[in-house]
Amino acid sequence: MNTYNELDENQQAEFIAKLIVVIQKDEVSFHDAQKIVKHGERIGIFDNIKIGHHAVYQENNLLTTTK
């Protein structure tokens, strides 16, 4: 099995699209995905990552966001 980074751009896009569909269509998969996201939050995967309209920055007061 490949790692995500070993997939080509089309394979990555297909994988992400399938993830979205399965969590939209299947409650068990949705709850599994919630666990994955919570794990990512615990280990800091989302630090310094902008997701949606909200910027996420480390608390150093050097960066600000505008709406």
* Domain count of the fold of the chain: 1
Query: Do the domain assignments include residue 67?
Result: no
Q: Nearest-5° angle of CA 22, CA 50, CA 30?
A: 20
Q: List Cβ neighbours of 30 (8 Å cut-off, separation of 6 or more).
A: 23, 24
Query: Do the domain assignments include residue 63?
Result: no
Reading the chain (67 residues) residue by residue, the pLDDT tens digits are 789 999 999 999 999 999 999 999 999 999 999 999 999 999 999 898 887 775 555 555 555 555 4
pTM over 0.75: no
What is the domain extent for residue 37? 4-55
C-alpha torsion angle, residues 20, 25, 28, 33 (rounded to 10)? 10
Question: How many other C-beta atoms lie within 10 A of the C-beta of residue 59?
Answer: 7
